[in-house]
């Protein structure tokens, strides 16, 4: 495989970053994950941490160096992450279960497979246009589907944050799976939270990717999203991957996995950060973070194969 990848997560104007992002790859397979802890629910950052960490660890066990069935992996790991979140809440006797959205993508044999729960999105951009895009599990998306509002009105709609499908909810979430999508040289896959896409139109995203490659375009887009949202903004996070043809000779910053051992993997996973100044009420203190890390490990271990 050959690809380039960019990832970033920013706190924005919020008191804590409840988003989590990660990517992990072997010689033959790549996984990318973005999760958005739901701010209206206590310890949303824990739910997002469990989701990303669970999927990464499952990938590290099962991609040796390939996944037998990427769609089965996505469905199984996301659903198991949901149950791990429930167990975490039960262990701590929480009155309300932490919740998170999640979007994850597997690339294997030059084919992308993705899944999502909630309103964290994936865009597949090819030659300056959006070829594929996930459909949010939200009230405003239902309004779009029924023709009651236009797609352009979603970001500013007062019900934009009303999500009806997420990890950590009382019932098992519905995981939407994509079709198999073959990638061309230069295709870009963007996984992002609503703090990113909510301030940017798909047209603007595509225009920036036409002007420059993802490594240069994505920081500009993150700056734009943060500036446009202002004080009403959210955490904003993105993982963007550009697919590179193995024979391409003009991609010096790309990653080639050809020399990796079949049992080797490399990963970049966002972790908890200490809070300065001390955490506000409803957020984890530094001592609680230490305890949460251990409890997360136990919850993940229980649901791991």
For the chain, which domains are there? Answer: 2-303 (3.60.40.10)
Q: How far apart are CA 223 and CA 221, in angstroms?
A: 5
Q: How far apart are CA 45 and CA 236, in angstroms?
A: 13
pLDDT of residue 142: 78
pLDDT of residue 281: 60
Q: Give the C-alpha distances (Å, rounded to integers) separating 287 from 92, 274, 279.
A: 15, 9, 11
For the segment 226-267, what is each residue's pLDDT rounded down to a tens digit?
999 998 889 999 999 999 987 766 666 789 999 999 889 999
Q: Which residues pair with 15 in a beta bridge?
A: none
Say if residue 158's pLDDT is above 70.
Answer: no
Q: Which residues contact 144 (CB under 8 A, 6 or more apart)?
A: 150, 151, 154
pLDDT of residue 126: 97
Per-residue pLDDT band for 286 (boundaries 50, 70, 90) equals confident
CA 100-290-104 angle, to 5 degrees, is 30
Q: What is the mean pLDDT of the chain?
A: 90
Going by their DSSP bridges, the two strands 19-25 and 266-269 should be labelled as antiparallel
23 in Cβ contact with 12 (< 8 Å): no
Give the mean model confidence (pLDDT) for residues 193-214: 94
pLDDT of residue 115: 98
108 in Cβ contact with 67 (< 8 Å): yes
pLDDT of residue 141: 75
178 in Cβ contact with 114 (< 8 Å): yes
For the segment 7-16, what is each residue's pLDDT rounded down to a tens digit?
999 999 998 8
Give the mean model confidence (pLDDT) for residues 199-208: 94
pTM above 0.75, yes or no: yes
pLDDT of residue 154: 67
- Kindly provide the b/e burial profile for residues 141-157, where b requires at least 16 CB atoms within 10 angstroms of the residue's own CB: bbbbeeeebeeeebbee
Per-residue pLDDT band for 278 (boundaries 50, 70, 90) equals low
CB atoms within 10 A of CB 177: 15
pLDDT of residue 146: 76
- Kindly provide the b/e burial profile for residues 199-216, where b requires at least 16 CB atoms within 10 angstroms of the residue's own CB: bbebeebbebbeeebbee
pLDDT of residue 275: 57
């Amino acid at each position: 495989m050959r690809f380039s990848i960019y990832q970033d997560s920013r706190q924005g104007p919020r008191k804590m970053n409840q988003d989590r992002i990660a990517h992990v790859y072997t010689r033959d397979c790549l996984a990318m994950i973005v999760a958005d802890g739901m701010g209206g629910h206590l310890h949303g950052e824990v739910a997002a941490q469990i989701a990303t960490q669970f999927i990464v660890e499952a990938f590290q066990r099962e991609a040796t160096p390939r996944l037998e069935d990427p769609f089965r992996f996505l469905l199984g790991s996301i659903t198991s992450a949901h149950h791990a979140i429930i167990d975490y809440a039960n262990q701590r006797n929480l009155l309300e279960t932490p919740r998170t959205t999640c979007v994850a993508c597997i690339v294997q044999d030059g084919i992308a497979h993705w899944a999502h729960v909630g309103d964290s999105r994936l865009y597949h951009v090819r030659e300056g246009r959006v070829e594929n895009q996930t459909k949010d599990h939200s009230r405003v998306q239902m309004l779009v589907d029924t023709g009651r509002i236009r797609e352009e009105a979603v970001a500013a709609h007062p019900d934009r944050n009303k999500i009806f499908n997420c990890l950590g909810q009382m019932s098992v979430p519905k995981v939407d799976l994509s079709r198999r999508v073959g990638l061309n040289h230069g295709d870009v896959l963007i996984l992002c939270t609503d703090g990113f896409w909510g301030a940017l139109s798909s047209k603007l995203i595509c225009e920036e990717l036409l002007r420059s490659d993802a490594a240069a375009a994505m920081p500009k887009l993150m700056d734009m999203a943060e500036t446009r949202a202002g004080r009403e903004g959210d955490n904003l996070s993105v993982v963007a991957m550009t697919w590179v043809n193995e024979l391409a000779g003009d991609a010096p910053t790309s990653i080639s996995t050809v020399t990796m051992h079949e049992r080797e993997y490399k990963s970049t996973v966002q972790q908890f950060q200490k809070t300065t100044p001390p955490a506000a009420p409803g957020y984890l203190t530094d001592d609680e973070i230490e305890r949460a890390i251990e409890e997360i490990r136990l919850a993940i271990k229980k649901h791991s194969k």
